[in-house]
Structure 1
Amino acid sequence: MKMRTAPTVAAVLIALTTTGALSACGGGSAVTDPQEQVAALPSSAAPSVSGPSGSAQSPPASATGTSGRPQLRLDDTEARVRQLSAAHADCLAENGARYATDGENLVGVDSGNGKMLVQPIPEKALRACIGLEPLAPVEMRPDSNPHYRENWQANVACLREHGLKVHLTQDMTDPAFLSWTYDEDAGISPDNQPQIEEDCMAQAFGSGR
């Protein structure tokens, strides 16, 4: 699977849907029959955090509230997404989590500040920092978007129409959420892939851009 060294706004927003910018975009198990398997997904799900070896680790019950948390939008700037993600990551690091050191081989997107947090995140840190964890855009959550499945299918179809060899997946940390990953014969990504990703997300999820 190909990985990007600098995630696009679209990639960071997708990662935030389930893991607070702690999991890799484009990861997950392949959905070989999207119409059939996606239709079977639950209509809602609580956020989860990646546990050891990519397993799903649910946050403590007291950490799942949304009151007062910063709300992201599909049309947010990369600067705002990174600023909010970095503030949350720094809080986690100050409360028992640890940033990866040079040479550690971890899968994930950066935390908005160019660094990655070692997983699993201690429950103490999750509880202390829940108020700073950005909420994914309402369009990117199955519990708040009744057209979530159709939007994801449209997003992947758009990417394929623009030359990206990708397919729909279930998220690696929470199968109630969707993502996409590269086909095995994906080849070299086009130079304008970041723009394609953002345009397709805007088109599929309806941010109006």
Structure 2
Amino acid sequence: MLKLFERAAVFTAVGAAGLVVLTACGGVGGNDDTDKGGQGEVASLTSPAADGGSAGASTADPDAGRPQIRLDSTQDDVNRMWDGWTACLKEHGVDKTYKRHPNAPGVKACAGKLPLDPPELDPAKNPDFDDDTRAMVQCMNKHGIKSVVTDRGWGLEDGASLNAPNYDSIMVGCQVKAFGGDK
């Protein structure tokens, strides 16, 4: 289900499933903390008008309440979040064809359980994404895990690197260092 970086679409895929050589990696980890605006933005509240009345109706944030994967989330945390979403899909009778039917009632019912990738791993939200990606590759290579920059982020030169001692902790550490501003 999840390729290494696709887990952010899937980094978000590191958590759920297989690796394809040179798959881009987006992240690991997560916890059940939610981002207040879904993807790194702060939710805004409508303030009352000066006369004490309502300033107007606001649209509900579709990402509010969804589990938020963080840069420092462990793979176990990420897996638990994805397991919650897939369990919900099963409870609602949704099979593996959900991607072909994204508006099916069961899929919509589980939308609030679909994990959000770290906003730092989204090139549209992170103006330093390219530099951060290069820093990630440099860090991974420094720790003996042969990595490269890809068109979607970063990836491993070969799948054998997944079996490197302490791979998960090295990846999380490098991700926090590269994308978390600790450069």
Q: TM-score, normalised by structure 2?
A: 0.59
110, 122, 129: which one aligns with 2:110: 129
Cα contact 1:69–1:134 (8 A) shared by 2: yes
1:87 and 2:62 matched? no
Q: How does 1:191-206 map to 2 (within 5 A)?
A: 191-206=165-180
Please name the residue that 1:182 is paired with: 157
Runs (4 or more) in structure 1 with deviation over 6 Å come to: none
Please name the residue that 1:152 is paired with: 133
Aligned residue pairs total 139
Q: How does 1:19-168 map to 2 (within 5 A)?
A: 19=10, 21=13, 24-25=18-19, 65-98=62-95, 118=96, 121=99, 122-123=101-102, 124=104, 125-168=106-149
Please name the residue that 1:108 is paired with: none
Give the drift of 1:163. 1.5
Distance 1:82 1:29 in 2: 19
One-letter amino acid of the structure 1 residue matched with residue 7 of structure 2: L
Q: Higher relative contact order at CA 8 Å, sep ≥6: structure 1 or structure 2?
A: 1
Change (3 A) 1:75 1:166: closer
Identity %, equivalent residues: 29
One-letter amino acid of the structure 2 residue matched with residue 140 of structure 1: L
Report the RMSD for the aligned CA atoms in angstroms. 3.4
One-letter amino acid of the structure 2 residue matched with residue 76 of structure 1: S
Please name the residue that 2:29 is paired with: none
1:85 alignment partner, SS class: helix
Distance 2:150 2:113 in 1: 28
Give the drift of 1:18. 0.8
- Mark the runs of 5 or more structure 1 residues left unpaired by the alignment: 1-6, 31-63, 99-117, 171-176
Distance 1:168 1:28 in 2: 9
Task: Flag the structure with larger Rg.
Answer: 2
Q: TM-score, normalised by structure 1?
A: 0.53
Cα contact 1:16–1:134 (8 A) shared by 2: no
Cα contact 1:74–1:207 (8 A) shared by 2: no
Give the drift of 1:151. 0.9
1:16 and 2:13 matched? no
Distance 1:191 1:165 in 2: 13
Q: Deviations over 1:104-129 (max 9, x none)?
A: xxxxxxxxxxxxxx455332143221
